[in-house]
Amino acid sequence: MIIDNETNSIWFRQSWLDTAFRCPERGRQAIVKPEWDEMTSDSALIGTAVHHGIEQFLHGNIASPKGIAGEAETFLDTFTDEIKWTKYETQSDLKRQADVCAQGWVNDILPNLPNLDDARPEVTFKIPLWSQHGYTIGITGTIDLVADGQLWDWKTSARAYNARDKQKHAIQPTIYAMAALNSDLVSANSFPMDFTYGIMIRGSKPKGQILKVTRHIGHADFATKRMMQLVDLFQFYGLDKTWPMNDDHFLCSATWCPWYSICRGAHISIADDRVSE
Amino acid sequence: MDKTSISILTQVAFKGAIEVCKGNIGNDAGNLAFIETLHFLTDCLMAEVSERTGESATRPAPASSPAPQAQVAVQEVFGQVEQVNTAVEIIPTKDGAPFGDMPAWLISAAQAKGVTKVFDNRNRLAQSPKSPWFKAPADQGEHAFWPPKGR
């Protein structure tokens, strides 16, 4: 959620919405204490490096998709910021996983992409949708690939995506479909609209997964309603008061939430959560 | 006073007027109060600057309502994507519309038809319950909008 007081506008990013829909308080903390969440995790860095490699290929900066892994490794070599180690231990581990992901993309995803002649990689959008409390409310983000009227996004993941879960819950396809509805991104800009994940699965062997989800107008309605609720929260609660908290999810933990210690963790210790004998 | 300075002063006055009138903008009385406040604050700021600098100042043409001005600023920062629709608005009428908050379902429904402005008919539903809740003006195709039935 980006609050722009210069233009009286509020912009939602899908990643922030994904967070705030799950736990509004975590969304608020990401606005008021962003410095607590500056450190990239090892898994996220692998994803960023592979994204970079794919982007170089799609932009034509490298001739062959075989060069994607090398681009990702170079990216990792030049990344000097401290990272949060969660699953891996060494820089070699990161490079190995980046290679596996890049190979998975080349083997299993690239052959299934639409015609890339007029492909548009890394498409940035910023689209106003309605007015509320004197603010113009809109969505903003970057789509990994728009090609032949299709919306694609690359993911790296420890495991394959569950189709039913993504079809029902994923917010990214909804926001991108709303962006496409209001722009020149796709020619048939009407619902229902498809969105495709190209997922590279980390592990010992290269493996890619293609998962298509479909967005109907009802998904857009519901996402809009929830965005309106967040604007109301901002308007009537402000950013100084605590927003509603939701600890009913594994992401509500010291490992996965940078603000856990001043939220649930300030009340409940690890011992309190232990199952009694 | 140059255009940039006038622009800055107007923005400051605009924000001040929004702050003073927020919650009331959207109906005729609220819009009028906003415009009067905007003029008053702009005049005060211009007079103060003129007094201090000795420069003469001319007030720029007033904005008709806050939303279009905000949208112009927003559209200037667009990057790669060419926008087709813009934010959906309920057209203020002399009856005092809007008659309630803008429902979420209206936004995608309107944008799917390329509609950005609608008349609010919700005040007439008691007399004619089958009437559309919202209707686009003639220049936007006179599309009619009802709330979605359970999907």
Sign, Cα dihedral of B57, B58, B63, B68: negative
pLDDT of residue B51: 63
Per the CB < 8 A criterion, the answer to whether A84 and A103 are in contact is: no
pLDDT of residue B60: 40
Sign, Cα dihedral of A26, A28, A32, A38: positive
CA A168 to chain centroid: 16
pLDDT at B116 over 80: yes
Beta-bridge mates of residue B119 = B135
List the single best residue of A2, A3, A7, A137 to mutate versus B (max B Cβ within 10 A). Answer: A7
Backbone angles phi, psi at A235, to 5 degrees: -70, -45
pLDDT at B67 over 50: no
List the single best residue of B24, B74, B82 to mutate versus A (max A Cβ within 10 A). Answer: B74
Whether the ω angle into residue B137 lies within 30 degrees of 0, i.e. cis, is: no
Tokens 């919650």 map to which residue?
B23
Residues of A in contact with B70 (CB under 8 A): 7-9, 131, 135-136
pLDDT of residue A106: 97
Confidence of residue B45 (pLDDT cuts 50, 70, 90): confident
The answer to the question of residue A196 being in a domain is: yes
Average pLDDT score, chain B: 73
pLDDT of residue A80: 84
Per the CB < 8 A criterion, the answer to whether A146 and A59 are in contact is: no
Confidence of residue A162 (pLDDT cuts 50, 70, 90): very high
Number of domains in chain A: 1
The answer to the question of residue A6 being in a domain is: yes
The answer to the question of residue A211 being in a domain is: yes
d(CA A119, CA A55): 11
B15-20: average pLDDT: 76
Percent of chain A predicted with pLDDT > 90: 86
List the structure tokens of A274. Answer: 């232990």
Alpha helix segments (H runs only) across chain B: 3-21, 28-53, 66-75, 104-112
pLDDT at B2 over 70: no
B42-71: average pLDDT: 52
List the single residue in B11, B88, B112 with the smallest CB-CB distance to A191. Answer: B112
List the structure tokens of A260. Answer: 């856990």
**What is the tens place of the pLDDT at every residue in A242-263?**
999 999 998 999 988 999 999 9
The answer to the question of residue A277 being in a domain is: no
Per the CB < 8 A criterion, the answer to whether B71 and B17 are in contact is: no
Identify residues of A whose CB sits under 8 angstroms from chain B CBs: 5-9, 120, 123-138, 178-179, 181-185, 189-191, 216-218, 220-222, 224-225, 228
pLDDT of residue B31: 67
d(CA A171, CA A14): 7
Confidence of residue B27 (pLDDT cuts 50, 70, 90): low
pLDDT at A149 over 50: yes
pLDDT of residue B71: 38
d(CA A155, CA A209): 10
**B71 CB near a chain A CB, below 8 Å?**
yes
The answer to the question of residue A259 being in a domain is: no
Structural domain of A132: 2-236
For strands A120-132 and A2-4, give the pairing: unpaired
Domain CATH code at residue A46: 3.90.320
d(CA A141, CA A11): 9
The answer to the question of residue A19 being in a domain is: yes
pLDDT of residue A226: 97
d(CA A48, CA A20): 22
**B109 CB near a chain A CB, below 8 Å?**
yes
B67-78: average pLDDT: 36
pLDDT of residue A277: 78
d(CA A271, CA A263): 16
B76-104: average pLDDT: 74
A45-50: average pLDDT: 96
pLDDT at B61 over 50: no
Residues of B in contact with A130 (CB under 8 A): 87-89, 102, 107
Q: Which of A127-136, A166-175, B64-73 has the lowest mean pLDDT?
A: B64-73
Q: What contacts A135, CB < 8 A, 6 or more positions away? A: A8, A9, A10, A231, B70
Backbone angles phi, psi at B95, to 5 degrees: -75, -10
pLDDT of residue B37: 74
pLDDT at A27 over 50: yes
What's the pTM value of the predicted model, to 2 decimals? 0.76
Q: What contacts B34, CB < 8 A, 6 or more positions away? A: B17, B18, B21, B24, B25, B65, B66
The answer to the question of residue A202 being in a domain is: yes
pLDDT at A75 over 90: yes
Angle between helices A217-237 and A24-32 (to 10 degrees): 60
d(CA A196, CA A200): 13
B2-12: average pLDDT: 68
pLDDT of residue B75: 36
Average pLDDT score, chain A: 94
Query: Which SS3 state, helix, strand or coil, does residue A132 take?
Result: strand
pLDDT at A200 over 80: yes
Q: How many cross-chain Cβ pairs, A to B, lie less than 8 Å apart?
A: 112
The answer to the question of residue A193 being in a domain is: yes
Provide the 8-state DSSP code for A4. Answer: E
List the single best residue of B111, B115, B118, B134 to mutate versus A (max A Cβ within 10 A). Answer: B111
